[in-house]
Amino acid sequence: MLIEVKNLSHIYGQGLAFESVALSDVSFTAAEGEFVAIIGHTGSGKSTLVQHINGLLKATSGTVLADGIDLSGKGKEVMDKRHRIGMVFQYPEYQLFEETVIKDVCFAPKNQGLSEEECIDSARRALEIVGIDPDVKGEMSPFALSGGERRRVAIAGVIAMRPEVLILDEPMAGLDPKGHNDILNMIQRIADDEKLTIFLVSHNMDDVAVLADRVLVMNRGKLAMNGTVAEVFSRGDELKEMGLSLPHASEIAGKLGLSAFTIDELADKIYKEWQ
């Protein structure tokens, strides 16, 4: 799905004493199948932006188009597009509530009007995509799983809706290193195998460097940068002025007189430099 954001602005409490400009004239395009990371300091407008892409917020001005359809409009065509945009909020495991894993993942497709058999098929496929064996854990209570597993089940609940766009808002937040790596690898598999348009909101620059095709940098509600991983992270001084860091590999590479943005890139360049 092609996503076009055109001159998007959002003001909370417009006209009131506590009026706050969250987005100001933001424009960009995300191609079908592209992986776009959105970074920025707290309060920069990241979450407000992705809630517009999901159609949850109404813009003060500007538009968000999905395959040319204005998501702020009404009618069946608009709702069909919005149903194809799935969003995973921070700590989605807090929204689990069913007695079994399979029933929880079935909840969203059931609300889409799918039959019981279609729901179970979609749920099993989604669980397999996120690395949960439905034959082993499908009948377990989701609350008997580890924190990382519960988060994967929650993400499966969105994937079961068969979205064309997947929005992930800080999907690794609060996880231990193993859980973090499990979710990171899962997102990489989804990006490689499912060919979805993916938006990732993250404070972890190492994850962004590994996953993203393109990086949007938000600063005080404005789009400050829009480029590839290399283009954005090569502007380290500007990023640091905005309160952002560089990937650890980039910091280490700079001290060695090299240019790299992921650990794998750094290892490869060190090998070639000193072999």
Q: Which CATH class is domain 3-231?
A: alpha beta
Residues 67 and 81 sit within 8 Å (Cβ to Cβ): yes
Percent of the chain with pLDDT over 70: 100
Q: In whole angstroms, what is the distance from residue 184 CA to residue 114 CA? A: 30
DSSP string, the chain: --EEEEEEEEEETTTSTT-EEEEEEEEEEE-TT-EEEEE-STTSSHHHHHHHHTT-S--SEEEEEETTEETTS-SHHHHHHHHTEEEE-SSGGGG--SSSHHHHHHHHHHHTT--HHHHHHHHHHHHHHTT--HHHHTTS-GGGS-HHHHHHHHHHHHHTT--SEEEEESTTTT--HHHHHHHHHHHHHHHHHH--EEEEE-S-HHHHHHH-SEEEEEETTEEEEEE-HHHHHT-HHHHHHTT----HHHHHHHHTT---SSHHHHHHHHHHHH-
Which candidate, 122, 187, 186, 184, places its Cα nearest to that of 159?
A: 122
- Rounded to whole angstroms, how far apart are CA atoms 194 and 186? 11
Mean pLDDT of all residues in 268-275: 79
Sheet with 20-30, side-by-side order of all strands: 20-30, 3-12, 61-66, 69-70
pLDDT of residue 113: 80
Average pLDDT over the chain reads: 91
For residues 72-100, b (16+ Cβ closer than 10 Å) or e, as one string?
Answer: eeeeeebeebbbbbbbbbebbbeebeeee
Residue 271's pLDDT band, with cuts at 50, 70 and 90, is: confident
Q: Where are the domains of the chain?
A: 3-231, 245-275
Residue 195 reports pLDDT greater than 80? yes
pLDDT at site 97: 85
The pairing of beta strand 69-70 with beta strand 165-169:
unpaired
Binned at pLDDT 50, 70 and 90, residue 275 comes out as: low
Q: Is the confidence at residue 38, as pLDDT, over 90? A: yes
- pLDDT tens per residue, range 213-256: 999 999 999 999 999 999 999 999 999 999 999 999 998 988 88
Average pLDDT over residues 90-102: 85
Q: d(Cα 244, Cα 47) in Å, to the nearest integer?
A: 17
pLDDT at 243: 93
CB-count burial class (<10 Å; 0-12, 13-18, 19+) for 15: exposed
pLDDT in tens, 146-187: 888 888 899 999 999 899 999 999 988 888 888 888 889 989
State the pairing for strand pair 69-70/61-66.
Answer: antiparallel
Residue 214 in contact with residue 35, Cβ under 8 Å?
Answer: yes
9 dihedral zone (left: phi>0; alpha: psi -120 to 50; beta) = beta
pLDDT tens digits, 116-151: 888 999 999 999 999 999 999 999 999 998 888 888
In this prediction the pTM is: 0.90
Instruction: Work out the angle at residue 81's Cα, subtended by the Cα atoms of residues 79 and 83, and round it to the nearest 5 degrees.
Output: 70
> What local confidence, expressed as pLDDT, does residue 270 receive?
87
Check residue 111 and give its pLDDT.
80
